[in-house]
Amino acid sequence: MIRLNNIHKSYEMGSSSLHVLKGIDLHIEQGDFVSIMGSSGSGKSTLLNILGMLDNYDNGTYHLSGNLIANMSEKKAAKLRNEMVGFVFQSFNLISFKNAMENVALPLYYKGVPRKKRNLIALEYLEKLGLKEWANHMPNEMSGGQKQRVAIARALISQPKIILADEPTGALDSANSYEVMDILKEINDDGITVIIVTHEHDIAAMTSQIIRLNDGRIHEIIRNGELKKFQKSYIHGLETA
Amino acid sequence: MFDLDLWSEIVSALKKNRLRSFMTAFGVFWGIFMLVIMSGAGKALENGVLDGVKAFATNSAFFWTERTSVPYEGFQRGRRWNYETSDIDYIRDNVKEVEYLSPRLFGNNQAGNNTIRGERTGAFNVFGDYPDYFKIDRWTPAQGRLINEIDLIQERKVCNIGERVVEVMFEKDENPIGQYLKISGVYFQVVGVIHAETRINIGGGKKEETIIIPFTTMRKAYNFGNRVYFFSVTSKPGTKVSDLEEKLKTLLKDRHKIAPEDQQAIGSFNIEKEFVKFSALFLGIQGLTWIVGIGTLLAGVIGVSNIMLVIIKERTQEIGIQRAIGATPATVIKHIVAESVFLTVMAGYIGLSLGVGVLEILNQILLKGGDELFFRNPEINLTMALSALAVLVVAGIIAGLIPAKRAVSIKPIDAIRDEG
């Protein structure tokens, strides 16, 4: 599904250049539920942007569903994004002057789906996420959890293969965070690959694979048995708190 | 291709951002509104002034006499003198450049009420003219006919009267044609009510208060002898009236023993000179209108670009999100430009309509003001209005395109991160 091979990325900051990713090798299968962890500056968001084709990489190769993603025109990238990837952001990033339904329907607009049809589909997705009554509300009339659910509906509407979530719970309280994670789990159960970036251990513990980044390199990948241990310690810690 | 979806997207985006849309639109609206008003006002002034003179023969010149200022051939300076009827024939026979010529006598209007009809009296300006005079300073018959050659030859006691004369001397429903007026003691039959086409006044008084009688009748009835007070001439096509004016002055000086160097003895002016002055004035006004108009328009355009730039900065995040969820750069640019053009055109159209509306209201008010106003028919040149609108559309495209290009050159992720 996703195959990264020795990915390098550096940012030009005036005269100096900041080497953010220093050779990432990664292999994610269809249907995985992956979290990327790391301290700030470790390159986790940059990695996510490259995965989502929002940013270019300098060296290495990135294959998505067997296609090499490199030197694409903006237009092609936009099309591929629209087809393959759904984004969920920390700050929700809903369009403030559109109501919930219109926000959800927006990706279909770019695909050229007629208004009535896309609004109908948008309503379906809102219903799935329990927000049908909020369809005509503006983003500023909704709580953080509701906004994030609208954003997830928007990410899902174009039926992507991958959901990329950048700190999806970063701006939410724990109750809402768990709700959002439950939704992402359900999405994953439907066979969609979900990749989240987070720095919260309890959130990471709900995924099936944890990739720890450190200073632009993969420090460790936690799965299976080790994951159990990880989950035990963090979920336990949470319960006692 | 009309894309309903695109337009409903644009309209909803504009509607949801009312203040922003309004501010953008207002700059354009104001620019075009001011352009229309200014150009209309300039045009109104031009119309007002030109309406008063345009019916006047532009190739006409006028002569009267003043006291001499130079002693000559035994005459002292300060002599009073008059033209003579023999001058008329002499000029007709010897000056080929003259097209129409009309001598004029001024009737007695110093003595108060000079016109009597039964119990009605009035003080009017009485002139003795040739029928050719109507071709120099245009008058049209509102009723009846103008004085003609036969009246002149037979020295008929007939008169043409102005509209105000009718009001004063006749009952409201009375027909003045065929009625008699006693003018300075002599009865004249009214053969026509005449309306002045110009507002240039020669010989003083209001044009509506004029009575015109045949020159020959006046000479005989009031004992003017061979005196002529005043000449109007027009030059034949191809001859400059200024040249004719000089030629006639020299000739008349010679015939009346006036020193050739006497600048004062013959008073004259020609309409051509006045027209040149007017033309220069209106050229100036139009030039000013254009300069200020283009300036205003430019200010509007710069305003739109400015606001668009701010808007795009404000919308960086929104644009980033749109691109993250699948909008191509072309889509984004198309949206922004369409929004900008839509706004400018709408605002321009409203400004244009409102400006024309205001001019029309002004026109209605001015029409009530009557003939005396030197400000009438404010109007705007359609080509000018449309080209102004075209400039706005182009400006709208540019105003949208520049910031849009900038917006898509930012990486979507940076745009989203831009927590504005």
Residue pairs spanning A and B at CB distance below 8 A: 71
Whether residue A188 contacts residue A33, with contact meaning beta carbons closer than 8 Å, is answered with yes
Q: Give the nearest chain A residue to B317 (CA atoms).
A: A93
**Is A95's CB within 8 Å of B323's CB?**
no
Question: pLDDT (tens digit, 0 to 9) for every residue of chain B, 420 residues total?
Answer: 456 667 777 777 777 677 777 877 787 788 788 888 888 888 888 777 777 667 777 788 889 999 999 999 888 888 999 999 999 889 989 888 899 999 999 887 666 788 899 899 998 989 999 999 988 888 889 999 999 999 999 999 999 999 999 999 999 889 999 999 999 889 999 999 998 887 777 766 788 889 999 999 999 999 888 999 998 999 988 888 888 999 999 999 999 999 999 888 998 888 888 778 878 888 888 788 778 877 877 777 777 777 777 777 777 777 888 887 778 888 888 888 888 788 888 888 888 889 888 888 888 887 776 655 566 677 777 777 788 778 877 877 887 787 778 777 777 767 676 543
- State the smallest CA–CA distance between residue B17 and chain A in angstroms: 7
**Cα separation, B48 vs B43, whole angstroms:** 8
Secondary-structure class of domain A30-56+73-240 per CATH: alpha beta
Q: Any idea where the domains of chain A sit in the sequence?
A: 30-56+73-240
- Structure token pair of residue A25: 């090798």
**Interface contact flag, B5 A49, Cβ < 8 Å:** no
Contacts of B9 in chain A (CB under 8 A): 109
Per-residue pLDDT, averaged over A14-29, amounts to: 86
- Show the beta-strand stretches assigned E in A14-156: 16-28, 33-37, 59-64, 67-68, 85-88
Residues linked to residue B351 through DSSP beta bridges, in sequence order: none
Least confident stretch, A38-42, A233-237, B365-369? A233-237
User: A158: distance to nearest CA of chain B, Å?
Assistant: 9
For residue B404, list chain A residues with Cβ-Cβ distance below 8 A: none
Check CB contact under 8 Å for A54 and B324.
yes
Q: Which two tokens stand for residue A194?
A: 């979900």
In this prediction, residue B317 carries a pLDDT of: 76
β-strand A59-64 against A162-166: which pairing, if any? unpaired
- pLDDT value of residue A240: 47
Cβ of A97 and B16 within 8 Å? yes
Q: Which of A190, A191, A177 is nearest to A148 (CA)?
A: A177
In tens, the pLDDT along A173-204 reads 888 888 889 989 988 998 899 999 888 888 88
**Which A positions 109-128 lie with beta carbon below 8 A of chain B?**
109-111, 114-115
Token pair for B399: 């105003």
Per the CB < 8 A criterion, the answer to whether B407 and B350 are in contact is no
Give which of A13, A76, A87 to mutate to test B binding, by max B Cβ within 10 Å: A87
Taking contacts as CB-CB distances below 8 angstroms, the residues of chain A near B17 are 97
Mean pLDDT score of chain A: 85
Complex prediction ipTM: 0.76
B368-375: long-range pairs with CB below 8 Å, 24+: B371/B199, B372/B199, B373/B48, B374/B45, B374/B48, B374/B49, B374/B52, B375/B44, B375/B45, B375/B48
> What pTM was estimated for this model as a whole?
0.62
Give the per-residue pLDDT at A237: 52
DSSP code of B334?
H
Going A222 to A228 to A233 to A235, the CA torsion angle's sign is: positive
Residue B63 and residue B257 in contact, taking contact as beta carbons nearer than 8 Å: no
- Distance (Å) from the alpha carbon of B10 to chain A's nearest alpha carbon: 12
User: Are residues A107 and B5, on separate chains, in Cβ contact within 8 Å?
Assistant: no
CA distance readout (Å), B317 to A6, A85, B79, B138, B281: 31, 19, 93, 72, 55
Backbone torsion region of residue B257, taken as left when φ is above 0, otherwise alpha when ψ lies between -120 and 50, otherwise beta:
left
Name the interface residues of B facing A (CB cutoff 8 Å). Answer: 5, 8-9, 12-13, 16-17, 317-318, 320-331, 408, 411-413, 416, 419
Confidence (pLDDT) at B375: 67
- A137 close contact with B: CB closer than 8 A: no
Alpha-carbon gap, residue B55 to B42, rounded angstroms? 21
- As a whole number, mean pLDDT of residues A160-183 equals 88
H helices present in B192-270, as ranges = 215-221, 241-255
